[in-house]
Amino acid sequence: MQFQKTRGVVLRFIPFNDNHKIVKIYTEHFGLKSFIVSLSKSKQNRNKAALLQSLQPLWLEIPDDNSSKLNRLGEIRCAESINSILLHHTKRSVLLFLNEVLYKVLKEEQSDTALFGFIIQSIAHLNNTEGNCNNFHLVFLTQLTRYLGFKPVSNYDKHNKFFYFHEGRFNHFKSGDNYMMGEQYSQLFAQLLSLDYETMGQIFLNTETRVKLLENILLYYSLHIPEFKNIKSLEVLSEVHTA
């Protein structure tokens, strides 16, 4: 069997039977792919299982066979260490949140090297961040929108003070419905849109405000991606972040 090499990040394990699990991996050259992984206790399988962790960047060999939806993995090896994340409680909680978000939005079996590059760079930034990373997930969500096709228009000013979810832009009038951010959170969201991982500490949020801003951003996601609901890791993420 011929194999092709690509990079990938692990998204999810799904039970298959007593001896196997299915692992979903988002790959650089082939999009989202599913593989069957043996649970036997051989050294080779133990080594593979050790690498198949949430959002672990990998080099992997996958079968050159587009006729099957489920294949066995060839050789895999670590592409980049995420030990700093795994050993840090807050970073680990952020990683699990990013993992769940990506699992809900990455559905296509097609290449998107720009999106893949953004994911890899984001994981590396999280791993290498030494200071406060409480705003990391907020910056990640705002920047991810550009790859998903609903990047907000950054037109906030003293007249356009309200962000409208459906339109993805700021407007000057206040609506009575629930499809806009209030003035306080619109201003914070506008500030957030101008930040990246290097400058994410420039927006100062207490715990309650950060949680409310996150809820607004997730509502924006859910209105543009109908199946984007029920983020289970949100509660854990809210508990570990402090001002």
pLDDT score of 243: 45
Same domain, 113 and 134: yes
Q: Quick one: 73 and 113 in the same domain? A: no
Q: Which of 36, 58, 78 delimits the end of a domain?
A: 78
Same domain, 47 and 108: no
Alpha-carbon distance of 61 to 52, in angstroms, equals 14
What CATH number does residue 19 fall under?
2.40.50.140
Cα gap 130→237, rounded to integer Å? 18
C-alpha to C-alpha distance for 169 and 151, rounded to whole angstroms: 9
**Nearest one of 45, 55, 170, 52 to 106, comparing CA atoms:** 55
Indicate if 105 and 176 belong to the same structural domain.
yes
Output the pLDDT for position 21.
87
Do 90 and 73 share a domain, yes or no? no
Same domain, 102 and 200: yes
What is the domain range of residue 97?
A: 83-240
The model scores a pTM over 0.75 = yes
- For residues 156 and 103, membership in a common domain is answered with yes
H/E run at residue 198: none
What CATH code is carried by the domain that includes residue 229?
A: 1.20.1440.120
CA distance 67 to 169: 43
Per-residue DSSP letter, 167: T
User: Does one domain contain both 63 and 103?
Assistant: no
Mean pLDDT by 10 residues, the chain (243 residues): 89 85 93 85 73 92 74 87 92 94 89 96 95 93 96 95 95 81 96 96 92 94 90 73 51
The answer to whether the Cα torsion of 10, 12, 13, 15 is positive or negative is negative
Distance CA 70, CA 190 (A): 43
